Amino acid sequence: MFGWEFPPHIAGGLGTACYGMTRGLAQNDVQVTFVVPHAYGDEDQRFIRVVNASDVETLFGSVSGGVEDLLDKISFIRIDSNMVPYISPEEYASYHEQYVKNGTKVWEQTDLWKQRYTFSGKYGANLMEEVARYAIVAAQVARNLEGQFDVIHAHDWLTYFAGIAAKRVSGKPLVVHMHATEYDRSGEHVNTQVYAIEKAGMMAADRVIAVSNLTRRIVITRYGIPAEKVVTVHNAVRFAENGNEAPERSISDKVVTFLGRITYQKGPDYFVEAAAKVLSRVPNVRFVMAGSGDMMNHVVRRVARLGIADRFHFTGFLRGEDVHRMFQLSDVYVMPSVSEPFGISPLEAMRSNVPVIISKQSGVAEVLDYAVKVDYWDVDAMADAIYGLITYPALARMFASKGLEEVTNLKWKDAAAKIKAVYEAVVREQQQKNDQK
């Protein structure tokens, strides 16, 4: 399994989903080796084995399927910055040209092609460079683990080339998991390079797992992936092993929380507009925006212009136990996402006995009955829903208790059983193809 992050070092819901999923797979007797670009050593390895890609030594010349094929594949990936201190694109181009011209195996003349790449594991300026390196390392990981695995599972576009490389080396079936498409992240202004990687990964895969029917429709209609190849498996939520007591609240005001990346996709600006409408009717409410992102400055300025800064709190990015505490301190949780493939955070809020308001444009809306659902753009409806839940205690208690009951039935073990069935199906198909040869 190729991922980009794993708890406790996460930037969003992808790492949380991977953790719950791998635990669920372990409960279904599936052994998982989870590869990440950069492991910190404090990952929970009770249920899986974590491989740190930064520790893997690669030998380009040993990759089966032909070195020329690998070189062509890597040169297809546009790298925007030098791979210093290892090799620059210019140096790489000259070695590639030399190979094409006379077939000289430069890696036999030098140790240049025997490398360890140090990954940051971040989402920074060198992201495309790291995606390219990760594919190289993935090929070596597949060779190192030859005979020890049956299926390759790659999460989101960052790891799709890694999955493709591992499939080419091993011949094993590839399952790619679509947690969020480029259309979810960017609307109609998609990054064409990311879109191309997403499409290449899904075309190369034997199965595509979508986290919701909403995402499945996007994969089929926007990427042209055959419908019979795309399977929906909804995410779940993991309950804490040790339930901590709720922290004491030093205020009597109601607390309404937004938790997520402060980006276009998550709809933070709609949350602010709804907050202003609520505060015009009920003054004793505090609004919390927990997260960070490229819209932070815009949101802060808008809060100031609306004159509600004294009622608004920005916590910055929260993780782990701080997230749990934030939910415990909340009276209402709001997820106004413009486009949300699934959305685990409402499940986590419901797990903490908090009533939730979610946008109809979210995958999680497909599995929840006891959540208030509004269109993300309808700030009047959002404000009315917030007002109702903080003003009428019986209504809030009903949504909280029924929601907790509902979310208790959304277990990772059950979701993982469906994923295991996908594994078994692609293995059978691969075996049938081999038998026909």
Range 241-251 average pLDDT:
69
Q: What is the DSSP track for 250-317? A: S--SEEEEEES--SGGG-HHHHHHHHHHHHTT-SSEEEEEE---TTHHHHHHHHHHTT-GGGEEEEE-
126 shares a domain with 86: yes
Burial 299-328 (b: 16+ CB within 10 A, else e): bbebbeebebeebbebeebbeeeebbebbb
Residue 423 reports pLDDT greater than 70: yes
Output the average pLDDT for the chain.
84
Residue 214 reports pLDDT greater than 90: yes
3 lies in some domain:
no
275 lies in some domain:
yes
249 lies in some domain:
no
Picking from 274, 280, 289, the residue whose alpha carbon sits closest to that of residue 383 is 274
327 shares a domain with 208: no
**In this predicted model, what pLDDT tens digit does every residue of 276-289 receive, in sequence order?**
999 999 999 999 99
Residue 339 reports pLDDT greater than 70: yes
As a dihedral over the C-alpha atoms of residue 108, residue 110, residue 116, residue 120, rounded to 10 degrees, the angle is -120
427 lies in some domain:
no
Window from 8-17, 121-130, 391-400 with minimum mean pLDDT = 121-130
125 shares a domain with 220: yes
Range 424-429 average pLDDT:
97
- Percentage of the chain modeled with pLDDT above 90: 58
224 shares a domain with 118: yes
271 shares a domain with 399: yes
29 shares a domain with 178: yes
Residue 308 reports pLDDT greater than 80: yes
92 lies in some domain:
yes
365 shares a domain with 263: yes
**In this predicted model, what pLDDT tens digit does every residue of 41-70 receive, in sequence order?**
888 888 888 887 777 766 543 334 433 343
- Percentage of the chain modeled with pLDDT above 70: 82
223 shares a domain with 283: no
Predicted local confidence at residue 332, as pLDDT: 98
Window from 41-50, 407-416, 427-436 with minimum mean pLDDT = 41-50
Q: How far apart are CA 220 and CA 224, in angstroms?
A: 5
Last residue of a domain, one of 199, 232, 265: 232
Predicted local confidence at residue 127, as pLDDT: 74
106 shares a domain with 48: yes
Residue 210 reports pLDDT greater than 90: yes
Predicted local confidence at residue 379, as pLDDT: 98
335 lies in some domain:
yes
313 shares a domain with 186: no
191 lies in some domain:
yes
**In this predicted model, what pLDDT tens digit does every residue of 72-125 receive, in sequence order?**
433 222 222 222 222 334 444 444 455 445 544 333 333 334 455 555 545 555
Residue 199 reports pLDDT greater than 90: yes
248 lies in some domain:
no
The whole domain housing 49 covers 13-232
Which CATH number covers residue 342? 3.40.50.2000
224 shares a domain with 127: yes
**Count of structural domains within the chain:** 2
394 shares a domain with 323: yes
Range 344-352 average pLDDT:
92
